């Protein structure tokens, strides 16, 4: 069975597959109005039947960011209808006097309260009213509601009222999301927000996946990448689309970890610079995860790979703000009209700046298969520069410097701000634009070594092929340590484990790997820390607490807040072939000559190399440009790169 990894990006949709033992890659322009068109176009070009299509999708993400999800209602206890608007009283931007929190996805007219109540122990204090349920159905029909989010107080302890409402509304034809199924944890605001997001994006995801599935052979099977780095079925992705919010970026992290392991590296900072945004994440032998993420200011409580995103990509638009400062992003030229060099756009982008400076070679753009227009870039760059009072060279280098600063902040956020020293990690650069900035970024944050995989512009799609089937489960218990012995905790995990085994067996994995974790905190703390569940889990908690905050309280009571269980179905992975022999001399076919480029105001003579012809042991000194189908790598002066045994390009950065 042929496996095809598919990643939908803002500018291109990428495909990776194995054919006759060889790794193949393919890119087509994305179709933002209907992402399925690009996906189906690529799959038709690849051909074959009975394929295993592993898809990283932006459908849920875009529906949320663009506020184009389903017409959704929110059902909760009477008197708590406004919880998704009141939220927490934190101020995200303390000194911004004009800051406003994002509008909730559900307006006040579509929030409904029912007279029922369960306490924190799960005991029923007030039953549901059949009359209120009938009135609710009529109100939802009059309001033309498509999807409903149901979240009652303490339903993590006893979900009976949610189950009743779900059964009634599902029977009436509404799409229903129940909070105890989406996120069975305490903190009603985060649980409500996550459930509302799921209800808002899932109908659109279901239609999208159904459209793709109906256009393929009956023998083709589709799986969807989740934000936690694992795959799920089409049915589950349709029902719990909130789990796919960071689908594509998660695939990139999984791909980066797998290819870096082949070179002997497991402590990584992943740097994925695409056309629209840059995603960074820290991997300390395995991806770090979080269950307290926010998307556009809205809490998402599901387990996700800890990825930080900034609006800095190859298509990010440069402009001068009201104060006269040069800015880059977060607005993007996207796939249509695209950067100026694509021939249609009129806004200068980071890609245009790299092309103007000679770091991108027009004749090798997308392997020479896509025509770009350097003369057009020169015209628009000079026009912009004149308006800004700069030379074209100063403007282009300024754009690169501003973009790099934006991305540097993102790298520091996932490393230094979380207690990790970047010097101890390797920067793994990928995405279509990553190689143009990676070496300079590494120097800015103190990283000594950069690893650039083969076909870096399609690594996220390769990550889909590397991913396992993963399901995460959680359950709030709120137990003091004296009531939470290792043996007692094992018993509490039994319910989660039983559910996991049943669901994984349905996915075709009857014997999954089971991983158990706990959310712990000192009694009285507001937030908890996730640690592995072991007999000495308290010690692990205190060590983690010291690393994060610099101290711990050995005599203070610890509280177990949540149980977490992960079930992993190990999939067959494609094998990446390495080189059999080593050679230091670069062959003539790999060296394409010298070209001029601009670096720090100087015009330099840089070697241009064809990556497909480089082999194990080849060494290249900067300044240089390495071109390949999906990406270009820029090596600044005083940097050195070599090809390792598995074909990764390793850049040694001069401090």
Per residue, the 3-state secondary structure of 571-629, as one string, reads CCCCCCCCCCCCCCCCCHHHEEEEEEEEECCEEEEEEEEEHHHCCCCCEEECCEEEECC
The answer to the question of residue 607 being in a domain is yes
Residue 639 C-alpha from the chain's centroid: 30
Q: How far apart are CA 426 and CA 379, in angstroms?
A: 39
Q: How far apart are CA 41 and CA 215, in angstroms?
A: 11
> Who wins on pLDDT, 370 or 141?
141
The angle, 0 to 180 degrees and rounded to 10, between the axes of the packed helices 392-414 and 374-388 is 90
- Number of C-beta neighbours around residue 556 at 10 A: 11
Give me the pLDDT at residue 554, please. Answer: 86
Give me the pLDDT at residue 620, please. Answer: 96
- Number of C-beta neighbours around residue 406 at 10 A: 19
pLDDT tens digits along 416-466: 988 899 999 999 999 989 999 999 999 999 999 999 999 998 999 999 999
- H/E segment holding residue 83: helix 83-86
Within this chain, do residues 109 and 160 fall inside the same structural domain, yes or no?
yes
> Closest by alpha carbon to 337, among 32, 60, 28?
32
Residue 655 has pLDDT above 70, yes or no: no
pLDDT tens digits along 517-530: 999 999 999 889 99
Residue 10 has pLDDT above 80, yes or no: no
Within this chain, do residues 551 and 592 fall inside the same structural domain, yes or no?
no
Please give the full DSSP string across 110-164, using - where no structure is assigned.
Answer: GEEEES-EE-TTS-EEEPPPHHHHHHHHHHHHHTT--EEEE--TTTTT--HHHHH
Within this chain, do residues 182 and 103 fall inside the same structural domain, yes or no?
yes
Sorted by sequence, the CB contacts under 8 Å of residue 648 that are 6+ apart come out as: 259, 260, 262, 263, 451, 452, 453, 454
Are 650 and 617 within 8 A, CB to CB? no
> Who wins on pLDDT, 12 or 635?
635
Are 230 and 468 within 8 A, CB to CB? yes
Largest distance between two CA atoms of the chain: 82
Q: How far apart are CA 221 and CA 3, in angstroms?
A: 9
pTM of the model: 0.91
Within this chain, do residues 80 and 181 fall inside the same structural domain, yes or no?
yes
Token pair recorded at residue 83: 């919880």
> Closest by alpha carbon to 316, among 306, 304, 328?
328
Are 72 and 63 within 8 A, CB to CB? no
- H/E segment holding residue 397: helix 392-414
Q: Which of 34-38, 436-440, 628-632 has the lowest mean pLDDT?
A: 628-632
> Whole domain around residue 537: which residue ranges?
469-569
Within this chain, do residues 525 and 607 fall inside the same structural domain, yes or no?
no
The angle, 0 to 180 degrees and rounded to 10, between the axes of the packed helices 130-142 and 160-171 is 50
Chosen domain end from 166, 184, 205: 205
Within this chain, do residues 562 and 600 fall inside the same structural domain, yes or no?
no
Residue 335 has pLDDT above 80, yes or no: no
Q: How buried is 231 (Cβ within 10 angstroms: 0-12 exposed, 13-18 middle, 19+ buried)?
A: buried
Within this chain, do residues 546 and 607 fall inside the same structural domain, yes or no?
no
β-pairing, 289-290 vs 293-295, is unpaired
Give me the pLDDT at residue 588, please. Answer: 93
The answer to the question of residue 476 being in a domain is yes
SS3 label, residue 183:
coil
Within this chain, do residues 93 and 179 fall inside the same structural domain, yes or no?
yes
Q: Calculate the average pLDDT of the chain.
A: 93
The answer to the question of residue 397 being in a domain is no
The answer to the question of residue 329 being in a domain is no
> Closest by alpha carbon to 638, among 599, 585, 594, 591?
599
Within this chain, do residues 612 and 526 fall inside the same structural domain, yes or no?
no
Token pair recorded at residue 369: 């298969």
Within this chain, do residues 555 and 622 fall inside the same structural domain, yes or no?
no
> Closest by alpha carbon to 183, among 166, 197, 204, 164?
197
CATH code, domain with 82: 3.40.1360
pLDDT tens digits along 183-230: 999 999 999 999 999 999 999 999 999 999 999 999 999 999 999 999
- Number of C-beta neighbours around residue 423 at 10 A: 12
Q: What is the Cβ-side half-sphere exposure of residue 159, based on CA atoms within 13 angstroms? A: 19
Q: Which of 210-219, 353-362, 537-546, 572-581 has the lowest mean pLDDT?
A: 572-581
pLDDT tens digits along 248-291: 899 999 999 999 999 999 999 999 998 888 999 999 999 999 99
Helix and strand numbers (H, E) in the chain are 16, 34
pLDDT tens digits along 581-615: 899 889 999 999 999 999 999 999 999 999 999 99
For the segment 506-522, the average pLDDT, to the nearest whole number, is 94
Q: How many domains does the chain have?
A: 3
Within this chain, do residues 164 and 103 fall inside the same structural domain, yes or no?
yes
The answer to the question of residue 509 being in a domain is yes
Express as a percent the part of the chain with pLDDT over 70. Answer: 100
What DSSP character marks residue 446? Answer: T
Within this chain, do residues 90 and 192 fall inside the same structural domain, yes or no?
yes
For the segment 150-170, the average pLDDT, to the nearest whole number, is 97
Chosen domain end from 188, 205, 222: 205
Express as a percent the part of the chain with pLDDT over 90. Answer: 79
The answer to the question of residue 486 being in a domain is yes
The answer to the question of residue 610 being in a domain is yes
For the stretch 116-140, what's the b/e string if a residue is b when 16 or more beta carbons lie within 10 angstroms of its beta carbon?
Answer: bbbeeeeeeeeebeeeebeebbeeb
The answer to the question of residue 357 being in a domain is no
Chosen domain end from 541, 569, 597: 569
């Amino acid at each position: 069975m042929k496996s095809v990894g598919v990643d939908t990006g803002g500018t291109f949709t990428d495909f990776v597959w194995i054919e006759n033992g060889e790794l193949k890659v393919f890119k087509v322009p994305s179709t933002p109005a209907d992402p399925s068109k690009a996906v189906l176009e690529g799959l038709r070009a690849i051909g074959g039947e009975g394929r295993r299509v592993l898809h990283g999708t932006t459908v849920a993400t875009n529906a949320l960011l663009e506020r184009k999800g389903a017409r959704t209602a929110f059902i909760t206890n009477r008197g708590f209808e406004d919880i998704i608007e009141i939220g927490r009283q934190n101020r995200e931007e303390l000194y911004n006097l004009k800051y406003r929190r994002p509008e909730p996805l559900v307006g006040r007219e579509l929030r409904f309260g029912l007279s029922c109540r369960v306490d924190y122990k799960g005991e029923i204090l007030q039953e549901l009213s059949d009359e209120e349920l009938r009135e609710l159905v009529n109100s939802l029909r009059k309001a033309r509601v498509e999807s409903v989010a149901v979240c009652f107080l303490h339903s993590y302890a006893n979900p009976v009222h949610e189950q009743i409402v779900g059964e009634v509304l599902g029977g009436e034809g509404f799409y229903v999301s129940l909070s105890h199924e989406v996120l069975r944890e305490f903190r009603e605001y985060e649980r409500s927000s996550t459930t509302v997001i799921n209800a808002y994006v899932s109908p659109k995801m279901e239609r999208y996946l159904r459209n793709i599935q109906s256009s393929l052979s009956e023998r083709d099977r589709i799986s969807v990448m989740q934000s936690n780095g694992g795959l799920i079925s089409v049915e589950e992705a349709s029902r719990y689309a909130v789990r796919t919010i960071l689908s594509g970026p998660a695939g990139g992290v999984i791909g980066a970890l797998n290819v870096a392991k082949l070179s002997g590296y497991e402590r990584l900072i992943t740097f994925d610079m695409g056309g629209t945004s840059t995603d960074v994440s820290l991997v300390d032998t395995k991806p770090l995860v979080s269950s307290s993420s926010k998307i556009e200011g809205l809490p998402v409580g599901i387990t996700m790979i800890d990825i930080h995103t900034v609006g800095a990509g190859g298509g990010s638009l440069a402009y001068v703000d009201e104060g006269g400062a040069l800015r880059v992003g977060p607005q993007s030229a996207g796939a249509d009209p695209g950067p100026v060099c694509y021939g249609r756009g009129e806004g200068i982008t980071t890609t245009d700046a790299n092309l103007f400076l000679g770091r991108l070679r027009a004749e090798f753009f997308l392997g020479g298969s896509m025509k770009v227009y350097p003369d057009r870039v020169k015209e628009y760059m000079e026009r912009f520069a004149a308006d800004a009072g700069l030379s074209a060279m100063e403007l282009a280098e300024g754009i690169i410097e501003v973009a790099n600063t934006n991305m540097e902040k993102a790298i520091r956020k996932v490393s230094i701000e979380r207690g990790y020293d970047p010097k101890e990690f390797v920067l793994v650069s990928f995405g279509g634009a990553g190689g143009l900035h990676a070496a300079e970024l590494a120097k800015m944050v103190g990283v000594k070594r950069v690893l650039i995989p083969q076909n870096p512009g399609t690594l996220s799609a390769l990550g889909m092929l590397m991913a396992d089937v993963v399901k995460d489960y959680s359950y709030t218990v709120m137990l003091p340590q004296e009531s939470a012995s290792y043996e007692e905790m094992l018993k509490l995990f039994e319910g989660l484990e039983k559910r996991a085994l049943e669901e994984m067996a349905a996915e075709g994995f009857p014997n999954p790997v089971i991983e158990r974790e706990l959310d712990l905190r000192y009694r009285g703390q507001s937030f908890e820390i996730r640690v592995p569940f072991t007999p000495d889990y308290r010690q692990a908690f205190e060590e983690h607490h010291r690393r994060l905050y610099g101290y711990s309280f050995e005599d203070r009571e610890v509280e177990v807040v949540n149980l977490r269980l992960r079930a992993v179905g190990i999939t067959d992975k494609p094998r990446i072939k390495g080189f059999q022999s080593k050679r230091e001399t670069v062959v003539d076919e790999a060296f394409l000559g010298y070209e001029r480029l601009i670096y720090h105001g100087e015009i330099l003579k840089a070697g241009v190399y064809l990556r497909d012809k480089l082999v194990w042991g080849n060494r290249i000194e900067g300044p240089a440009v390495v071109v390949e189908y999906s990406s270009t790598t820029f090596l600044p002066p005083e940097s050195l790169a070599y090809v390792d045994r598995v074909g990764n390009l390793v850049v040694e950065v001069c401090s």
